[in-house]
Structure 1
Amino acid sequence: MTATGAGAQTGTARRGHPTHEVFNQPPPRTDINEYTTNAALTEAVQRYGGGWAAPHLTEVGELVGGAQFQLDAELVQRFTPELRTHDRYGNRVDEVDFHPSYHRIMGAAVAHGAHTSAWADPRPGANVARAGVFMQFSQVEPGHACPVSMTHAAVPSLRFSPDLAEFWVPRTFSREYDPQLTLDKPGAIFGMAMTEKQGGSDVRANTTRAEELSDGTWALTGHKWFCSAPQSDAFLVLAQANAGLSCFLVPRVLPDGARNVFRIQRLKDKMGNKSNASSEIELDGTVGWLVGEVGRGVRTIIEMVGRTRLDCVYGSAAGMRQSVAEAAWHARHRQAFGKTLIDQPAMTGVIADLQLEAEAATWTAMRLAAAYDDETGEQGPLRRLATAVSKYWVCKRGPHHAYEALECLGGNGFIENFPLARRYREQPVMAVWEGSGNVIALDVLRAMAREPETVEAFDAEVALAAGSSHAFDAHLARTRKMIAAVAADPAGAESRARRLVESMALAFQASLMVREAPTAVADGFVAARLGGDGGIEYGTLPDGVDAGAIAARA
Structure 2
Amino acid sequence: MSEAVTDSSVSTATHGVTNQPPPLVGHDVADDAALLAGVVREGASWFLPELHELGVWASSAEAQTWADEANRYEPVLRTHDRYGHRVDEVEFHPSWHRLMEVSVGAGLGATPWADDRVGAHVARAAGVFVAGQVEAGHLCPLVMTYAAVPALRAAPDLADVYEPLLASRVYDFGLRVPTTKRGLLAGMGMTEKQGGSDVRSNTTVARDAGDGTWRLRGHKWFTSAPMNDVFLVLAQAPGGLSCFLVPRVLPDGTRNTFRIQRLKDKLGNRSNASSEPEFDDTVAWLVGPEGRGVRTIIEMVSLTRLDNVIGSAAGMRAALVQAVHHTRHRAAFGRLLIDQPLMGNVLADLALESEAATTLALRLAGAVDRAQFGNDQEKAFGRLATAIGKYWVCKRQPAFVAEALECLGGNGYVEESGMPRLYREAPLNGIWEGSGNVNALDVLRALGRSPEAFAAYSEEVEGSLGADSRLDAAWTSLQRELADTHEWEYRARRLVERFALVLQGALLVRHAPEDVASAFCGSRLGGESGYAFGTLPRGTAIDTLLDRAAPPH
Q: TM-score band, normalised by the shorter chain?
A: over 0.9
Structure 2 equivalent of residue 544 of structure 1 = 539
Could you say what secondary structure the match of 1:248 adopts? strand
Structure 1 equivalent of residue 224 of structure 2 = 228
Could you say what secondary structure the match of 1:544 adopts? coil
User: What does 1:363-512 align with in structure 2 at a 5 Å threshold?
Assistant: 363-374=359-370, 375-377=373-375, 378-486=377-485, 489=486, 492-512=487-507
1: distance between equivalents of 2:25 and 2:295? 44
Q: Which amino acid is 1:354 matched to?
A: L
Matched, 1:333 2:318: no
**Is there any run of 5+ residues in structure 1 with no aligned partner, and where?**
none
Aligned-residue offset at 1:380: 1.1
Could you say what secondary structure the match of 1:140 adopts? coil
Select which of 331, 338, 344 maps to 1:342. 338
Deviations 1:475-519 (A, max 9, x none): 011111122223xx4xx2111111110110000000001111112
1: distance between equivalents of 2:302 and 2:532? 31
Structure 1 equivalent of residue 304 of structure 2 = 308
Could you say what secondary structure the match of 1:225 adopts? coil
2: distance between equivalents of 1:218 and 1:376? 34
2: distance between equivalents of 1:120 and 1:213? 33
Q: Which amino acid is 2:285 matched to?
A: W
1: distance between equivalents of 2:419 and 2:454? 38
Tell me, yes or no, if the aligned pair for 2:111 and 2:166 is still in contact at 8 Å.
no
Select which of 114, 123, 134 maps to 1:129. 123
**Taking structure 1 as reference, are residues 553 and 16 closer, same or farther at Cα in structure 2, changes over 3 Å only?**
farther
Could you say what secondary structure the match of 1:94 adopts? strand
1: distance between equivalents of 2:366 and 2:526? 29
Aligned-residue offset at 1:142: 0.3
Aligned-residue offset at 1:258: 0.5
Tell me, yes or no, if the aligned pair for 2:207 and 2:237 is still in contact at 8 Å.
yes
Deviations 1:349-372 (A, max 9, x none): 110000000000000001111111
Aligned-residue offset at 1:117: 2.6
Select which of 17, 28, 50 maps to 1:33. 28
Structure 2 equivalent of residue 24 of structure 1 = 19
User: What does 1:96-135 align with in structure 2 at a 5 Å threshold?
Assistant: 96-135=90-129
2: distance between equivalents of 1:519 and 1:236? 46
Structure 2 equivalent of residue 158 of structure 1 = 152
Deviations 1:1-24 (A, max 9, x none): 99x85xx54x417x7601111110
Q: Which amino acid is 1:93 matched to?
A: V
Aligned-residue offset at 1:214: 2.3
Aligned-residue offset at 1:376: 2.6
User: What does 1:63-82 align with in structure 2 at a 5 Å threshold?
Assistant: 63-82=57-76
Q: Which amino acid is 1:200 matched to?
A: G
Aligned-residue offset at 1:93: 0.6
Aligned-residue offset at 1:122: 2.3
Aligned-residue offset at 1:416: 1.1
Q: Which amino acid is 2:123 matched to?
A: A
Count of aligned pairs between the two proteins:
544
Structure 2 equivalent of residue 260 of structure 1 = 256
| Identical-pair percentage | 55
Could you say what secondary structure the match of 1:27 adopts? coil
Q: Which amino acid is 2:438 matched to?
A: V
Structure 1 equivalent of residue 510 of structure 2 = 515
Aligned-residue offset at 1:291: 0.5
1: distance between equivalents of 2:345 and 2:546? 8
2: distance between equivalents of 1:62 and 1:450? 45
Structure 2 equivalent of residue 61 of structure 1 = 55
Could you say what secondary structure the match of 1:279 adopts? strand
Could you say what secondary structure the match of 2:484 adopts? helix
1: distance between equivalents of 2:292 and 2:525? 42
Q: Which amino acid is 1:407 matched to?
A: E
Could you say what secondary structure the match of 1:408 adopts? helix
Deviations 1:152-197 (A, max 9, x none): 0000111111111111101101111121111231111111000001
2: distance between equivalents of 1:27 and 1:178? 37
Structure 2 equivalent of residue 287 of structure 1 = 283
Select which of 174, 183, 188 maps to 1:180. 174
Aligned-residue offset at 1:438: 0.7
Aligned-residue offset at 1:126: 1.2
Q: Which amino acid is 1:310 matched to?
A: L
2: distance between equivalents of 1:214 and 1:104? 43
Select which of 44, 51, 67 maps to 2:45. 51
Q: Scaled by the length of structure 2, what TM-score is found?
A: 0.97
Aligned-residue offset at 1:345: 0.5
User: What does 1:236-247 align with in structure 2 at a 5 Å threshold?
Assistant: 236-247=232-243
Structure 1 equivalent of residue 271 of structure 2 = 275
Tell me, yes or no, if the aligned pair for 2:468 and 2:509 is still in contact at 8 Å.
no
Q: Scaled by the length of structure 1, what TM-score is found?
A: 0.97
Deviations 1:60-110 (A, max 9, x none): 101111110011011111111111111111111111111000000011100
Aligned-residue offset at 1:387: 0.6
Q: Which amino acid is 1:266 matched to?
A: R
Q: Which amino acid is 1:393 matched to?
A: W
Could you say what secondary structure the match of 1:370 adopts? helix
1: distance between equivalents of 2:347 and 2:68? 25
Aligned-residue offset at 1:52: 1.1
2: distance between equivalents of 1:23 and 1:119? 51
Deviations 1:123-164 (A, max 9, x none): 211111111111111111000111110000000111111111
Could you say what secondary structure the match of 2:233 adopts? strand
Tell me, yes or no, if the aligned pair for 2:468 and 2:518 is still in contact at 8 Å.
no
Q: Which amino acid is 2:440 matched to?
A: A
Q: Which amino acid is 2:520 matched to?
A: F
- Return structure 1 stretches of 4+ with deviation > 3 angstroms: none
Select which of 195, 204, 222 maps to 1:199. 195
Could you say what secondary structure the match of 2:297 adopts? helix
Aligned-residue offset at 1:538: 0.3
2: distance between equivalents of 1:523 and 1:323? 24
Q: Which amino acid is 1:342 matched to?
A: I
2: distance between equivalents of 1:453 and 1:80? 46
Structure 1 equivalent of residue 143 of structure 2 = 149
Q: Pairwise CA RMSD of aligned residues?
A: 1.3
Tell me, yes or no, if the aligned pair for 1:219 and 1:287 is still in contact at 8 Å.
yes
Matched, 1:171 2:154: no
Tell me, yes or no, if the aligned pair for 1:115 and 1:134 is still in contact at 8 Å.
no
Tell me, yes or no, if the aligned pair for 1:233 and 1:251 is still in contact at 8 Å.
yes
Tell me, yes or no, if the aligned pair for 1:45 and 1:51 is still in contact at 8 Å.
yes
2: distance between equivalents of 1:187 and 1:178? 6
Tell me, yes or no, if the aligned pair for 2:229 and 2:247 is still in contact at 8 Å.
yes
Q: Which amino acid is 1:107 matched to?
A: E
Q: Which amino acid is 2:365 matched to?
A: A
